[in-house]
Structure 1
Amino acid sequence: MLLSSLQRLEATIDIETAALLAHDTDTQDELNRRKSQSLLELARFARSEAHLTDDPATMACLQRLRSKLGRNHEVVGMHLRAMQEVADIVAARLQSTESDGTYSATFHHED
């Protein structure tokens, strides 16, 4: 049961990483829901003694999952940095627009 939960999380992380690399955010809400469900399952295992195992398949899955989470972390970080750069560009553009008087509070009407 633990192994199947880990495998579902591993598959979700694979899908999310591939989607982010393809700049496809259409499924992000569903992926977040699936990750939350996986974390809930793993939290339940952690509270029980069922997670104590020497099963080689489970240990191999945990190692793969750790590696995939590291890659996913890198890709998510890359997207966050890109979003920050876009936000900085937009903010700078807004500030420059405001500073040239375009959106000034004063209105000059010529007769």
Structure 2
Amino acid sequence: MLLACLNRLEATIEAETEALLARRAVDHAAVNHLKSQSLLELSRLSRGLDPAGLDAVAAIHLARLRDKLARNQEVVAMHLRAVEEIGETVAAAERAAESDGTYAPRVGL
């Protein structure tokens, strides 16, 4: 069960990362729901689990998941920075379009 849970979470993370890198549309609500479900399942499965007692296969899956989560974090952060920059550009354009020039600095005075 643990490996199945790790595989589902890994697939979700990988799909989101690849979609963001390919600039494809991402249903963020659906992805966040899947991640939340997987993390809840993982936390329930790991409650009584002794980390020292994990077999090599589970340890490999966890290490791979950790790497994919780190990459996903980088890509999501990059995506958020891009969204913020676009928002700032749109806001500046709206302010410029709404301005009648009354308070703009005068050049040549």
TM range (shorter): 0.7 to 0.9
Q: Provide structure 2 residue ranges, at least 5 long, that are not aligned to the other structure.
A: 102-109
Aligned mates of 2:38, 2:6 — CA distance in 1: 8
Aligned mates of 1:29, 1:76 — CA distance in 2: 14
Contact 1:16 1:31 in 2 (8 A): yes
2:29 equivalent to 1:5: no
Aligned mates of 1:15, 1:26 — CA distance in 2: 9
Alignment of 1:56-95 (within 5 A): 56-95=56-95
Matched residue SS, 1:35 = helix
Alignment of 1:1-111 (within 5 A): 1-46=1-46, 48-50=47-49, 52=51, 53-100=53-100
* CA RMSD of superposed structures (Å): 1.6
TM-score by length of 1: 0.80
- Say which one has the larger Rg: 1
- How many residues end up aligned between the 2 structures? 100
Q: Which structure 1 residue ranges, 4+ long, deviate > 6 Å from structure 2?
A: none
Contact 2:3 2:61 in 1 (8 A): yes
Contact 1:2 1:51 in 2 (8 A): no
- The letter for the 2-side match of 1:4 is A
Deviations 1:80-104 (A, max 9, x none): 0110001000111111122226xxx
